[in-house]
Amino acid sequence: MDSIVVTGNGPLSGQIPIAGAKNACLTLMPATLLTDQPLTLTNAPRLSDIRTMTLLLQSLGAEVQALNDGQVLAMSSHAVTSTRADYDIVRKMRASILVLGPLLARFGHAEVSLPGGCAIGARPVDLHLRALEAMGADLDLREGYVHAKAPSGGLKGGIVEFPFASVGATENALMAATLAKGTTVIRNAAREPEIVDLAECLRKMGAQIEGEGTSTIEIQGVESLGGATHRVVTDRIELGTYMLAPAICGGEVECLGGKIALVESFCEKLDEAGISVEETATGLKVARRNGRVKAVNVTTEPFPGFPTDLQAQMMALLCTAEGESVLEEKIFENRFMHAPELLRMGAKIDVHGGTARVSGVEKLKGAPVMATDLRASVSLILAGLAAEGETVVSRVYHLDRGYEHVVRKLRGVGAKIERVKAE
């Protein structure tokens, strides 16, 4: 397996281009199944998860072409040949479940394998199924597959009430509701920018949607949807990750395409820690103000709260902060698996259940470490940038699922980093 070698090399300077959002693109791609007209996505990230979704859509008979070095996805579902999403592809990625709503809404039936993904705790699909049942779907779980049927005449508008905000379930419900007969109301809907981006794309396709970005979304079903061209929103998690690079190493970096509105709660914590964030005409300029970073307490919450997908990276920063920080993980269990690896680099971290106490040290030391999931892998790279000596991060295949050209982007601002191919 490949590894990434990082050597602490002092302050960073320059610009880092931020890609389109992985989580938005993985939701927008299944929207092609809702129409027989072309759907084109621009600003697409070039990631292994996008390739996996491409394979899944192609297995159903959809056409997907990657143009402009993968940054444009030209899709058409005019000749879908199957409504069965097989385990062999679905197991690789949880976002695969997002084909269920569109297939059911347009074709009236679907068989979708229960998904796989990162090992960061139980993330059941029951809320997805509950939403579709509220629209009249008949669901049967057997042999590892969801067998779904719409009533004769198609899905019907209904009240979808989630016990807690779920991004994926909101997305599946939103897509399915666009073709349901009548009005669907989603209550306790997720409010993430990726939901807003999906609604904007669906509206371009002819959907009637109101309230995205709030906890109540109302959808008036239409007979059919058309084609559209849509630019994928900036990836707020990649944005936050690269904003932490100058925070950890010193220097000043501009993250191109960034906007404070995408990462407001994160920016508030950076400000508290002594990091300056300035919105420019082209992005966000980030620099450490004076001396060591200050300890801060962080609790992960659904948007607009602090993102769980930036918790691991924030922990890397707080390992060298002045004082004790407390990080509370409220979204996923098992999401402190990076902590033992940071301990190998000299960090002081005490984990109890969903809480981690981090006592800042003056300097981390380079060490061989192992990535356990996507966000953990990049947190170890960030830690390596600020450590004395060499850090070797193994099992970096996780990284390819969510970050394009990490080595190139960090080298571009002066980091000493290289990817070593497995022999």
Q: Is 124 annotated as a binding residue?
A: yes
Q: Where are the alpha helices (DSSP H) in 60-156?
A: 87-90, 100-107, 126-134
Residue 410, pLDDT score: 98
Domain ranges of the chain: 3-18+235-420, 22-231
What's the rounded Cα separation, in Å, for the pair 255 and 361?
Answer: 27
pLDDT in tens, 90-104: 988 889 999 999 999
Q: Is 127 annotated as a binding residue?
A: yes
**What are the residues whose beta carbons fall under 8 Å from the beta carbon of 51, sequence distance 6 or more?**
none
Residue 102, pLDDT score: 98
Are 374 and 402 spatial neighbours (Cβ–Cβ below 8 Å)?
yes
Residue 116, pLDDT score: 54
Q: Is 309 annotated as a binding residue?
A: yes
- In order, the DSSP letters of 158-210 are -EEE-SS--HHHHHHHHHHHTTSBSEEEEES----HHHHHHHHHHHHTT-EEE
| Tokens found for residue 67 | 């143009």
With a cut of 50, list the residues of the chain below it in pLDDT.
117-123
Q: Is 374 annotated as a binding residue?
A: no
Q: Is 270 annotated as a binding residue?
A: no
Q: Is 236 annotated as a binding residue?
A: no
Active site residues: 118
pLDDT in tens, 125-165: 889 999 999 999 999 988 889 999 999 999 999 999 999 99
Fold match flag (3-18+235-420 vs 22-231) = yes
Cis peptide before 304 (omega within 30 of 0): yes
pTM above 0.85, yes or no: yes
Residue 72, pLDDT score: 98
CATH architecture label of 22-231: Alpha-beta prism (3.65)
Q: Which CATH superfamily is domain 3-18+235-420 in?
A: Enolpyruvate transferase domain (3.65.10.10)
